[in-house]
């Protein structure tokens, strides 16, 4: 065995080489171990016959079609395989291999990330417990502050009132953070089930805007809707989609200057309904368009302090994806932003 062959065989990552017809050409030792098959027995067999994973298939297809590594996201590059009755998570990567400018093979590597996933689970469980434990005392502090503020328990000095108001604001923010952390961990672990029903888009938009009207008036920001009269019903968990809308419009309000405007638009295309929240706000640089949907990612800007924790859009994404939809943003700094999400229309 040559020097390079020895290294290839003994790599700690599984390496799988397939041809243009998705057939196995070569496996290293780790791949044999993971797939439970010897290289000699696997050669010529389709990769998908060894691992029945639509995810791997579509990434292989993409690599062959575009002659480049596929666009890997955290979600589509993590796969779950059951090996000797144990569930294991792998991070997958793919590269096309060229000989004399012609694409001949695809090299797939699988890295075992089960331990990382387990740590992630412990962290999620911890967040869920901690945020749950925070909520009850925070709610009672808020209620207590509310009662003292009314003056029922004795006259308050102006300074006393000021301090109480600051406590109230901080408490409300902490409570929102705790609720968001709890919701997110429940969504991530699939504990919150979607309660799908036939829902009216008009009603959901109206409910979301209703809660934000006053805030918009205070900031002198106009709220508009642009809705065709014949929108179909959608298959949705009404409260959760109202949550998404409230958050998108809430963000638009937060990141738009006084005098600006926000428009909520909806349109049907085939079996999908596309809903957009359009603002004339500060906009988002291109390198953040995908990242802002990840946890805790915020764009630092002294003129537009967030006051939140960077969880709103992550929760929106979880909810929309649980509906089988997608969410994305189009934006240019200084030119405003358009957040759009899609959800399926009702069949009935």
Question: Which stretches of the chain bind Mg ion, using CB under 5 A?
Answer: 251, 312
State yes or no: residue 312 binds ligand ATP (CB under 6 A). Answer: yes
State yes or no: residue 298 binds ligand ATP (CB under 6 A). Answer: yes
- Concatenating the DSSP letter of every residue in 25-70 gives EEE-HHHHHHHTS-HHHHTTSBHHHHS--HHHHHHHHHHHHHTS--
Query: From CA 217, how far away is CA 263, in angstroms rounded?
Result: 14
Residue number with CB closer to ligand ATP (113 or 278): 278
The contacts of residue 166 (CB under 8 Å, 6+ apart) are none
- Concatenating the DSSP letter of every residue in 299-324 gives ---TTS---S-S-HHHHHHHHHHHTT
The option from ligand ATP, Mg ion, none interacting with 342 (CB < 5 to 8 A, set by class) reads none
DSSP code of residue 9: H
State yes or no: residue 299 binds ligand ATP (CB under 6 A). Answer: yes
Q: Which secondary-structure segment (H or E) carries 103? A: strand 102-112
Stretch that binds ligand ATP, among 8-16, 77-85, 186-194, 275-283 (CB under 6 A): 275-283
> What track of x and - describes contact with ligand ATP for positions 178 through 217 (by CB under 6 A)?
--x-------------------------------------
Binding residue for ligand ATP, selected from 273, 279, 320, 340, defined by CB under 6 A: 279
**Which residue in this structure is represented by tokens 């994305």?**
328
State yes or no: residue 127 binds ligand ATP (CB under 6 A). Answer: no
The option from Mg ion, ligand ATP, none interacting with 344 (CB < 5 to 8 A, set by class) reads none
Q: Shortest Cβ distance from residue 281 to ligand ATP (Å)? A: 5
Lookup: tokens for 286 = 């291109």
Question: Which residue has the CB atom at the shortest distance from ligand ATP?
Answer: 308
Binding residue for ligand ATP, selected from 113, 128, 212, 284, defined by CB under 6 A: 284
Query: From CA 245, how far away is CA 209, in angstroms rounded?
Result: 8
State yes or no: residue 306 binds ligand ATP (CB under 6 A). Answer: yes
Q: Shortest Cβ distance from residue 308 to Mg ion (Å)? A: 5
Q: Which secondary-structure segment (H or E) carries 278? A: strand 272-279
φ, ψ of residue 232 to 5 degrees: the values are -80, 170
Residue count, binding to ligand ATP (CB under 6 A): 20
Query: From CA 296, how far away is CA 316, in angstroms rounded?
Result: 13
Q: Shortest Cβ distance from residue 142 to Mg ion (Å)? A: 21
Residues that bind ligand ATP (CB under 6 A): 180, 251-252, 255, 279, 281-282, 284, 292, 298-299, 306, 308-314, 337
């Amino acid at each position: 065995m040559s020097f390079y062959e020895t290294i290839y065989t003994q790599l700690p990552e599984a390496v799988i080489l397939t041809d243009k017809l998705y057939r196995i050409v070569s496996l290293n030792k780790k791949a044999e171990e993971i797939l439970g098959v010897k290289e000699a027995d696997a050669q010529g067999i389709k990769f998908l016959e060894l691992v029945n994973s639509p995810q791997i298939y579509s990434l292989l297809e993409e690599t062959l079609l575009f002659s480049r590594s596929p666009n890997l996201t955290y979600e589509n590059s993590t796969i779950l395989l059951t090996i000797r009755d144990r569930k294991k998570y792998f991070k997958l990567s793919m590269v096309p291999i060229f000989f004399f400018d012609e694409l001949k093979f695809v090299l797939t590597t699988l890295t075992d990330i089960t331990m990382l996933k387990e740590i992630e689970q412990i962290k999620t469980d911890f967040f869920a417990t901690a945020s749950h434990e925070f909520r009850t005392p925070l709610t009672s502090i808020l209620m207590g502050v509310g009662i003292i503020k009314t003056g029922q328990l004795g006259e308050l000095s102006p300074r006393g009132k000021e301090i109480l108001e600051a406590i109230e604001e901080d408490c409300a923010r902490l409570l929102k953070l705790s609720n968001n952390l709890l919701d997110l961990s429940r969504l991530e672990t699939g504990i919150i089930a979607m309660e799908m029903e036939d829902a009216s888009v008009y009603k959901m938009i109206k409910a979301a805007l209703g809660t934000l009207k006053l805030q918009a008036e205070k900031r002198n920001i106009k709220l508009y809707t642009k809705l065709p009269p014949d929108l179909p019903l959608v298959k949705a968990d009404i409260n959760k989609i109202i949550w998404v809308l409230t958050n998108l419009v809430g963000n638009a309000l937060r990141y738009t200057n006084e005098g600006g405007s926000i428009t909520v638009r909806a349109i049907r295309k085939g079996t999908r309904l596309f809903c957009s929240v359009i603002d004339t706000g500060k906009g988002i640089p291109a390198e953040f368009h995908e990242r802002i949907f990840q946890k805790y990612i915020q764009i630092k800007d002294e003129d537009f302090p967030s006051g939140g924790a960077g969880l709103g859009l992550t929760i929106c994404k979880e909810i929309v994806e649980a509906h089988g939809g997608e969410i994305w943003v189009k934006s240019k700094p200084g030119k405003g932003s358009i957040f759009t999400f899609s959800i399926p229309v009702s069949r009935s």
